[in-house]
Structure 1
Amino acid sequence: MSSGSLPGTEDVAGSYEYLAALTEKVGGPDLHYGYWTGPEDRSTIEEATERLTRVVIEGLKAVAGDHVLDIGCGNGRPAVAIAETTGARVTAIDVNEHALERGRAWARERGVGSSVSFERCDALAMPYSEASFDAVLILETTPHFMPEPLFAEMARVLRPGGRVVLETPCLRAPLTVEMRSRLAAYFDMFQVLSIEPEEVYARALRAAGLEIEAAEDLTEHTEPFYGRILERFDCHRDELAAEYGAEAVERVESAISNCAAMSGMGSILLTAFKPVFPPLTG
């Protein structure tokens, strides 16, 4: 365990489970960025994360009868929303069994328990046949992987003609030594392996045999997220300190504060599809 880590955060599943109470208290249960419409938008984190969920679901263009894969589903809120709003069947995967249980409970509560399957598996070795899914969602899961092997496995299980929606943190400027140092504690706590510029994700999608349909910089919409989280630390500091200890809470807050101050960080939305006919070679 590195000096920036906290006990219980040595792997992705452990990190998200150990910090679940804290992250959901300050960042909401969706476990992804929020989408704000502009500087005057005072939407809550929960309202903004639901808005981003709607944005990515629209990109999937899923309909009733489709089978959608949600890679790194967390607590399952987007997976359930896909089933509710499109009528599609959803397979949602993650490595955190406790998060999967929360997803199953949420699906039952929302009346779509039979439409969403929550399964524990490794996204780099999924137990699904080729061309099993009509669409794939990767919502802020990419930082836990190198993009090339993740996208190759995703493309394998996507049917020809199927769509991919990828929303991820990205670099808008080269990652300097100073930036790496300031982000080290955050990367350690949340098991971040890789955050790349947009062109790296685009190149990896193409290498996986996918064609990019659209790319949108979401940074101006997602930028308020970390600042809104920091506001909530003050509101919940005593109860979080009682559960984690004041020092641990301060360390997490400091790590998030460094992200909030990092001008070179952003967010992108990429949509792509798998061609029905592979390109001719030779």
Structure 2
Amino acid sequence: MSSRSLPRIEDVSSSYEYLAALTEKVGGPDLHYGYWSGPEDRSSIEEATARLTRVVIERLRAGVGEHVLDVGCGNGRPAVAVAETTGARVTAIDVNEHALERGRAWARERGVGSSVSFERCDALAMPYPEASFDAALILESTPHFMPEPLFAEVARVLRPGGRVVVETPCLRVPLTEEMRSRLTTYFEMFQVLSIEPEEVYVEALCATGFELEAVADLTEHTEPFYGRVLERLDRHRDGLTAEYGAEAVERVESGILNCTEISGMGSILITGSTSVLRSP
């Protein structure tokens, strides 16, 4: 599902600046879905988002001496977790300099400042030579792009046999006009370009030089996320309104509420690797 023309880097960046602090207050500092065992799992949002990061890192299979690319790293929590967990060197890219500065500060705080490099660049035109990285993670940054150009550029900078892990929202049912209307606020709020069905992501990955390894439907584990975010927002509404203003709070609430009312929204985890026969 494509929403409109390509968003400019400046639009994505300014949207982050406007809403990231509030979104982080209600959705946790990792700024991605959480992973719960089921509806009865009362893990906090922070515990669940850290759990999803661990799931992605496990699939990445990075190790000491390897070089990992984090595409659309945001404030850098997953990138830092990769360095801490695996001992790999990480290059984390994003378009928002404020988010990158926060990532650098977090890496220093966690003692891996020398292992994680945060760099501002366009993921569709990365300034890295071919075969620069051993592995790449794309953790919910996919919605800011059309899948095929993004995957093609990631494939370019991965070495032959390099691994990619993609965790992304997806559509599980055919798109209706009602769904499209409900998603408009969410798309505009976070400068989303597209959310596609599983098969679109898989086809795009395979069309850009990757060999598919596995696809996992995470929906039953990530589904509680938006409900938990709305619960937290409601509990802290007065304080959030005082800090960010009623308009911003209502806008975030409206966008998230619309997502909870769409039964066809889900999430998937895709793993793949570039062909070992590919010329670097």
Match of 1:231 in 2: 231
Correspondences of 1:92-107 after superposition (within 5 Å): 92-107=92-107
Letter in 2 for 1:193: L
Match of 1:20 in 2: 20
Q: Give distance in 1, aligned partners of 2:243 and 2:46.
A: 23
Question: TM-score normalized by structure 2?
Answer: 0.95
Q: Give distance in 2, aligned partners of 1:75 and 1:62.
A: 21
Q: Give distance in 2, aligned partners of 1:62 and 1:246.
A: 44
Match of 2:266 in 1: 266
Q: Give distance in 1, aligned partners of 2:128 and 2:219.
A: 34
Letter in 2 for 1:98: H
Match of 1:4 in 2: none
Letter in 2 for 1:133: F
Q: Give distance in 1, aligned partners of 2:139 and 2:214.
A: 16
* Runs of 4+ deviating beyond 3 Å: none
3-state SS of the aligned residue for 1:211? strand
Which ranges of structure 2 fall in alignment gaps of 5 or more residues? 1-8
Q: Give distance in 2, aligned partners of 1:48 and 1:248.
A: 25
Letter in 1 for 2:31: L
Q: Say if 2:19 and 2:248, in contact at 8 Å, map to a contact too.
A: no
Q: Say if 1:12 and 1:191, in contact at 8 Å, map to a contact too.
A: yes
3-state SS of the aligned residue for 2:39? coil
Q: Give distance in 2, aligned partners of 1:154 and 1:202.
A: 15
* Aligned length in residues: 271
Q: Say if 1:25 and 1:236, in contact at 8 Å, map to a contact too.
A: no
Q: Say if 1:10 and 1:191, in contact at 8 Å, map to a contact too.
A: no
3-state SS of the aligned residue for 2:236? helix
Which ranges of structure 1 fall in alignment gaps of 5 or more residues? 1-8
1:161 aligns with 2:136: no
The percent of aligned pairs where both chains have the same amino acid is 82
Match of 2:136 in 1: 136
3-state SS of the aligned residue for 1:19? helix
Cα RMSD over matched residues?
A: 1.3
Q: Give distance in 1, aligned partners of 2:247 and 2:93.
A: 33
Instruction: Give the Å deviation of 1:99.
Output: 0.5
Question: TM-score normalized by structure 1?
Answer: 0.94
Letter in 2 for 1:119: E
Letter in 2 for 1:105: A
Instruction: Give the Å deviation of 1:245.
Output: 1.9
Letter in 2 for 1:49: T
Q: Say if 2:83 and 2:115, in contact at 8 Å, map to a contact too.
A: yes
Match of 1:57 in 2: 57
Q: Give distance in 1, aligned partners of 2:201 and 2:91.
A: 24
3-state SS of the aligned residue for 1:106? helix
